[in-house]
Structure 1
Amino acid sequence: MKNHCITGVAALLVFASCSKQLSTEPLNFNVETASATYNVGDTVTFFFSGNPDFISFYSGEEGNNYDNRERTTIDGTPRLQFTSYAQYGTQLNTLQLLVSNDFKESYDEAGINAAKWTDITSQATLSTGADNTPSGVVDLSDFLAQKKPVYIAFKYTGTSGNAQKTWTIKSLTVDLLKKDGSVLPVTDIATAAWRQVSIKNPAAVWTISATQLRIAGGNAAAEDNEDWVISKLLYLNNVLPDVAVPVKNIAQKVDSYKYVFSKSGAYKVVFLAVNATADVQQATTKEIQLTIK
């Protein structure tokens, strides 16, 4: 069985290393409950028998699932959504929505030009004069399939000679719609760490706040304008591995463990038991299927 590291094992190994050769007793461990069915809010008592040095607990809930202890990515549909507001001016096609997998975070013209940017503007609905126009769901699955993180950017262009548009972007979110219907947040307008880059006309640039991105191009006398606002590096489907709850270490004697489930469902509860020294590690798992009504 593949070995698993748990909290507290490192301290034991430091102690054990003081001896040239130590051995563990045979690992004997079992878990039982009084019933296989409980109600939400009931206290479930798990009774232990055996002699492990360490015990860890996986309830089977989100974030505490034994099967996901080594998972770093998750299946789902990455989605971008935002609202926009176009004001003033008569110029068309002044805002583009772009995505890059290979931007090197060189926030200047050369750095932007060195990256490959995919224009996905056509996937979003943009304002034609109404405030808070919903973009609709922009599916980013094509970029997830490349198994690389992404940068999201808005590019603004304006031409001298006519009044240039003012654009405001609000309520932006990126999330992952998981296969079970739940949603994993990735970032939003306040946490995407936007940075603006002015290529033309530094007098008119993107302004960034926790609630919106905004650029005012200027009147007909304003210079030609090109400005970008670029998000931080985004991982569309990365998750932290699920972790166990420590129940017992070598200094403790524990005969039982109590837990309360807050949601109904079928749960695979797993206890991981370990005996370890500097020379030997033994591990075993015990699984209990519970139904919470």
Structure 2
Amino acid sequence: MKTNNNPTSGKRLAQLLALCLLATFSSCDRDGTESVEFGVNVQTPDAVYAGQPVTFEFDGNPDYIAFYSGEKNDRYANRDRTTLPEVDSLGLSYSAKMQYAENYDYLGDRILRVMISDTYDGSGEINPEEWHDLTDPDPAVNEEYLKSVILETSTTAKLPYAAVNLSQYKDKDFYLAFRYLAEPHTGIKSEGHTLPSDPKKTYSYDNRPRIDITELKLVKREPDKNLIVVEDMVREFVFTPHFVTSKVQNNFTVSNYSMMFQPQEYVVTDGKITVNESQDYDIDVWMVSQKLSPHSVEPDRGTPIKGTNARLGIYQHTYSEPGTYTATFIVTNANKWNSEQIVREVTVEVKPAQ
């Protein structure tokens, strides 16, 4: 077996390998992001009026553009803000509807109660003594109380709007809860049955009332009168059910903008499902929020207005109020490995509506 000891061939091999590596890395320039070139101006800057669209004209074609209008809660300067230094006032409002309620059983009853606590520890163990009832109309309990939905006639009641000032909690962390507390139904079924003491009265429903809650808003006002609204029951309030006394745990639901209490109790007799007429206890179910901080705030996010799929030469936005606004455009070029970003700002003078 012969061995090649020619040093020239080894050197040539090393040179070939170096050339191959150089070609490989040159073919996929990971740092070769195209530099960002972008300009913006306001079309007809002297004729911008509240309620009418303003047109921004662009020069350049970046990969991505995000837009901050400069209006309240849409400011580039607040992109990293998570805390409000000061809260001027705090308020709570909601709407509710009660239905499928026998007025013989529930006329005038305050089944729905709105509770607040700054001592509850979030453990899931509900002690009513730790909670304050905002809907208690007793002046000794609440100087200003929050109205609840009350059955006055028929079998349905509506509460279009109710609100209360919570400014005494504006510098405290607290929990909020909706409490469903209903006494037993009489149990007389609806198929033509009448009450012995009043033969003319018939019963329409077998279970306790259903209550729906909508339009819930926790409103924080800053000293400059800017309003920050918390209203998503799932993402922001994070309500979860807690069953203090309830034989059933179905039909108590919460979605982003609504909540429902609809207790339905059934028994099986001779293979058939029928309404449980032995409701011999007070049902007590709570929907409890996460800990809420009046000084916490979501950062201003801005609006993505362009991706890589199309060229964008102009963009329109409508300001509802007159004033001076700083519109901000975050402009980015990016590839798989790298990105370059610049910020462009333009002042918009918005005149009163014509």
With normalisation by structure 1, the TM-score equals: 0.58
1:230 to 257, 277, 287: 287
Larger fraction in strand: 1
Identity %: 16
- The answer to whether the 8 A contact 1:206-1:229 is kept is no
Change (3 A) 1:159 1:219: same
Q: Which amino acid in 2 is paired with 1:97?
A: V
What does residue range 28-39 of structure 1 map to in structure 2 within 5 Å?
A: 31-33=40-42, 35-36=44-45, 37-38=47-48
Is 1:125 matched with 2:152?
no
Deviates more, 1:217-226 or 1:151-160: 217-226
What does residue range 277-288 of structure 1 map to in structure 2 within 5 Å?
A: 286-288=345-347
- Cα distance in 1 for partners of 2:135, 2:350 equals 47
Structure 2 runs not aligned, ≥5 long: 1-28, 137-144, 189-206, 266-274
- Cα distance in 1 for partners of 2:109, 2:303 equals 55
- Structure 2 residue aligned with 1:44: 55
Change (3 A) 1:239 1:225: same
2:316 to 254, 260, 264: 260
**CA-CA distance at 1:153 after TM superposition:** 2.9
Matched residue of 2:328: which SS?
Answer: strand
Change (3 A) 1:28 1:132: same
What does residue range 13-92 of structure 1 map to in structure 2 within 5 Å?
A: 15-16=30-31, 31-33=40-42, 35-36=44-45, 37-38=47-48, 44-46=55-57, 57-61=67-71, 64-72=74-82, 77-83=90-96, 85=98, 87-89=103-105
- Cα distance in 2 for partners of 1:282, 1:240 equals 20
Is 1:100 matched with 2:126?
no
With normalisation by structure 2, the TM-score equals: 0.50
Is 1:139 matched with 2:165?
yes
- Post-superposition Cα deviations, 1:205-239, rounded to whole Å, max 9, x if no partner, equal 78425663245899998534351221442756643
CA RMSD of aligned residues (A): 5.5
- Structure 1 residue aligned with 2:127: 113
Q: Which amino acid in 2 is paired with 1:83?
A: A
- Cα distance in 2 for partners of 1:125, 1:248 equals 48
- Cα distance in 2 for partners of 1:147, 1:240 equals 19
Change (3 A) 1:194 1:129: farther
Change (3 A) 1:105 1:15: farther
Matched residue of 2:127: which SS?
Answer: helix
